[in-house]
Chains A and B, each alone.
Chain A
Amino acid sequence: MLKGRRRNFEDMIIINTISIILILTGLLFFFGSVVGVLRFPDFYTRMHAAGKGDTLSSLLVIMGFAVYHLGQIHWMDFVWADLLVVIKLLAICAFIMLTSPTATHALMDAGYEDGIEPLTHKKGNALREPKVKGRG
């Protein structure tokens, strides 16, 4: 039995690099989302940044961890608990992909029903101040 195959150095390097790239991409997209949440002018546009950036960045970071933990499995003395960690991480991914847009939509709907007016351009290029009034 080759002991060297258990921790193949090259494979570890490749897997770790993929994981690092995924996590860094996720952090980059989260940065964009955070800047959007801070800068965008009204609730609806902020929701664009929050909803999309949140979904993809969580997805990418957790995917990166799934890849990393897949690389940590010792295939020679295999225990199911190690693989279950990866499966659970993928389950979190699927869960986030389903629920995060739904939560975004629910919050959007609640805000719209409550009469928060979306801001729109006037004739010129200036933005109208968001006016908020109860609609009933």
Chain B
Amino acid sequence: MGNRTFIFVLLLITWVVLSGQFDAFHLALGLISCALVTWMSSDLLFRNRQDSIWERVHEGWKLAWYFLWMLGQIFLANIAILKLSLSPNAMEQVNPSIVHFKTKLKSDFAKFLLANSITLTPGTVTIKIKGADFYVHAINEAAAAGLDGEMERRIARIYRSEARAPEDGSQRKGGS
């Protein structure tokens, strides 16, 4: 029940922001449609429905801090791209390889977060996710060495459901 209320409030905020009308007619329309959507599809947003609202809020708070750290990483990645694309001998610095590793994250959202984070950090882009297997394209050796599972541990720390944070990071295997 708590989750349904949470989703309803979330949808209602979205409605109010996007419509920008505050008269009774539009608000009533919003209430009706948000209730309808919540009733029909409330089980789509969250996978495990046991958690309480406060845990959700707590996770959201930790997620916000994670995004702040992420923003710094995106800056570093863009500075690296800018340097690489403007350097006259860019082709000598490019030495791509495909790195394969297994993740210990279980939920889909955590994997999605890890894939997007890998894409946005310096020199690496996720190519493929197959179950627990990640295939990552690294632009040179330094970027490939940077995939030491540190990000994975950060993500695992956000979610209580990711039972145990990987202790030694992910074991990397050779390129494809």
A and B in contact, CB less than 8 Å: yes
Q: Contact residues of A with B, CB < 8 Å? A: 28-29, 31-33, 35-36, 39-42, 44-45, 47-49, 51-53, 55-57, 59, 80-81, 84, 87-88, 91, 97-98, 101-102, 104-105, 108-109, 112-113, 118-121, 125, 127
Q: Which chain A residue shows the least CB distance to B22?
A: A80
Q: Which of B43-68 contact A (CB under 8 A)?
A: 67
In the complex, whether B35 has a CB less than 8 A from a CB of chain A is: no
Q: How far is the CB of B61 from chain A (nearest CB, A)?
A: 16
Q: Please give 12 more A-B residue pairs, beta carbons under 8 A apart, in addition to A48-B81, A91-B17, A109-B127.
A: A32-B85, A33-B78, A35-B86, A36-B84, A41-B94, A44-B127, A49-B85, A97-B67, A108-B128, A120-B95, A120-B97, A127-B94
Q: Report the Cα distance A83→B29, complex, angstroms.
A: 22
Q: Contact residues of B with A, CB < 8 Å? A: 17-18, 20, 22, 67, 74-75, 77-78, 81-82, 84-86, 90-92, 94-98, 112, 115-116, 119-120, 123, 125-128, 135, 137, 139
Q: List 26 A-B contacts (CB under 8 A).
A: A29-B81, A32-B78, A32-B82, A32-B85, A35-B85, A36-B81, A40-B85, A40-B90, A45-B139, A52-B119, A53-B81, A55-B120, A56-B75, A56-B77, A81-B20, A84-B20, A87-B17, A101-B116, A101-B120, A105-B119, A105-B127, A108-B126, A112-B135, A113-B128, A118-B98, A119-B96
| For the complex of A and B, 4 pairs with smallest distance between CB atoms | A32-B82, A36-B85, A101-B116, A101-B119
Are B78 and A45 within 8 A (Cβ)?
Answer: no
Are A44 and B125 within 8 A (Cβ)?
Answer: yes
Q: How far is the CB of B71 from chain A (nearest CB, A)?
A: 8
Q: Report the Cα distance A47→B124, complex, angstroms.
A: 10
- A29, A47, A48, A108 — which one has the most chain B CB atoms within 10 A of its CB? A48
Q: Report the Cα distance A87→B67, complex, angstroms.
A: 18
Are A120 and B96 within 8 A (Cβ)?
Answer: yes
Q: Report the Cα distance A97→B95, complex, angstroms.
A: 27
Residue from B74, B75, B116 within 8 A of A98 (CB atoms)? B116
Instruction: Note all chain A residues with C-beta closer than 8 A to B125.
Output: 44, 47-48, 51, 104-105, 108
